[in-house]
Amino acid sequence: MRRRGLLLLGGSAAASIGAALYLAPRPDNTAAPGAGMLAFPGLAARLPQAALLEIRRHDATLLVRRDGERWLLPDRNNYPIREAKLRELLTGLSELRLMEPRGSDPANFARLGVDDPQTPGSTASHLRLLDAQGAPIISVTLGRRRVRTQGNIPETIYIRRAGDAEAWAAEGRIPLDGDAAAWMERDVANFPAERLLRAAINRLGSEPLTLARAAPGAPMLLVTPPEPATPNPSALDEVTRGLEYLTFIDALPEAQNHGTPLGEARFELTGGLTIQIRCSRLDQFLFIRLTAEGPEAQSLNARWQGWAYQVGIWKEKAFLPTLEELTQSP
């Protein structure tokens, strides 16, 4: 009995061990070749050779061209881009990692957003980064993204690389934007209101106006013409804040005709800086040209020279107000 019991226990133990071995996790040897690797190995080292970025969609194509140390928008009169936006995109591409293959059947590409962007209704974007000879550094179709809100889980995006029949789910953030307007550096100037000391307004067809502070930090007052009617504080404040957070709607070459001249204003700021603002109007569009004089002028003029900025029509009251707008009846 004792021997039989030992045999039964031994058999039971063997069966248990066998079951445990069968159910235990096994090493994962099924990962697809390439999974976990960079989608574009060696890209970071090749970025200094980049000369042209192209993002093509079914309805538009964005081009960003390198000119020396600057990147410009050819379709926006070669206006400079926000280089931080390009840096963020190229960093994302350099760090993108392949995670899981999603098949090579073209019938499934539209569902992933990696079909031909020229197909009607396609949501795909095709990105190419070319060197100065036109050879592709990157050529890839970028599809649908998945953004997870939990914790530090990274974003994923479906991609299909040129020359690779396989579509992939890749891990990383690719801030893709095909709208040229979103790439433009829209900031024109940002001088706090308290820096303005004096403003000389010369509107064509109207008498000159002068606004000034009695002392730094004092309220801005209308001093020419003398003894005016009751001042309008909100209108005076618009002039005072005219160069604060100034952005443009569009930027065009200064040499182009931008409508009828309205006049000009000279804003004197602390630190010896003077800014001349020339205004013109074309239909319901207001354009301004800026020139700086003084210690900060060199960097400002380097950015402003050659450009006319379309700004909100309401800025006309900030740069070329009328006497009626600056005063109110008692």
Span of 26-40, 112-126, 146-160, 216-230 with lowest mean pLDDT: 26-40
Q: Give the percent of the chain with pLDDT over 70.
A: 87
Instruction: Evaluate if residue 316 carries a pLDDT over 70.
Output: yes
Q: What is the pLDDT of residues 273-288, one digit of tens each?
A: 999 999 999 999 999 9
- Residue at 15 is within a domain: no
If asked whether residues 202 and 136 sit together in one domain, one would say: no
Give the mean model confidence (pLDDT) for residues 230-235.
89
Task: Check whether residue 193 and residue 314 sit in a common domain.
Answer: yes
36 inside domain: no
The tokens for 156 are 């994923």
pTM, to two decimals: 0.78
Residue range 195-201: mean pLDDT, rounded: 97
pLDDT of 103 higher than 70? yes
Q: Which domain, by its residues, includes 165?
A: 43-183
Q: Does 167 share its domain with 202?
A: no
- Asked if 160 and 282 sit in the same domain, the reply is no
Mean pLDDT for the chain? 88
Q: How many CB atoms lie within 10 A of CB 146?
A: 11
* Residue 50 token pair: 């980049």
Q: Determine the pLDDT at residue 154.
A: 82
Tell me: do 91 and 160 sit in the same domain: yes
Residue at token pair 């994923």: 156
Say whether pLDDT at 3 is over 70. Answer: no
pLDDT at position 2: 31
- Please compute, for residue 118, the number of CA atoms within 13 A of its CA located in the half-sphere on the CB side: 0
pLDDT at 35: 75
Query: Does residue 33 surpass a pLDDT of 80?
Result: no
Among the candidates 162, 183, 204, a domain finishes at: 183
Question: Are 154 and 198 members of one domain?
Answer: no
